[in-house]
Amino acid sequence: MTPLILKPPTHLMGRSVLLVEDEMLVAWDIEQTLSHAGMRVLGPVASVVAAMRLIGEERPDAAILDLKLRGELVTPVARRLREMSVPFVLATAHNHLRCDEAEFVGVENLGKPVASARCVEVLGEMLA
């Protein structure tokens, strides 16, 4: 069960967050956290193809990405988000610092399981 965020930052209300996650329960938990904080969730989507399609239709304000989606790295999505100047964080159990992809250098990892309060805090900082 997702703990309620007692006082989410008001500047997050209505902001859109792309959620790219292939584990259904993890995606549901993060989606609940974002919704309780007043954010609008784009997705969740579980593949690079679906994520690329979604960001082609609507520009998110921020994104939360799992590093590996059924064995496929989320690199093309991260690259596209950087081109669009959309800030993103990772939510992965994998050590993204060992990944050779330049798109992930300096990107914060929320880890898994994702702590609700930390997730909202990080998004609040990114979108301030």
List the beta bridge partners of residue 64. 19, 89
- What's the CATH fold of domain 13-126? Rossmann fold (3.40.50)
- Which pLDDT score, from 0 to 100, does residue 95 have? 67
Q: How confident is the model at residue 1 (pLDDT cuts 50, 70, 90)?
A: very low
The domain segmentation of the chain, as residue ranges, is 13-126
CA distances from 43 to 24, 25, 35, 53, 90 (A): 11, 14, 12, 11, 15
How many Cβ atoms are within 10 Å of 74's Cβ, its own excluded?
Answer: 27
pTM of the model: 0.89
Residue 88 and residue 62 in contact, taking contact as beta carbons nearer than 8 Å: yes
- Which pLDDT score, from 0 to 100, does residue 99 have? 63
Query: No. of H helices and E strands in the chain?
Result: 4, 6
Q: What is the pLDDT of residues 53-69, one digit of tens each?
A: 999 999 999 999 999 99
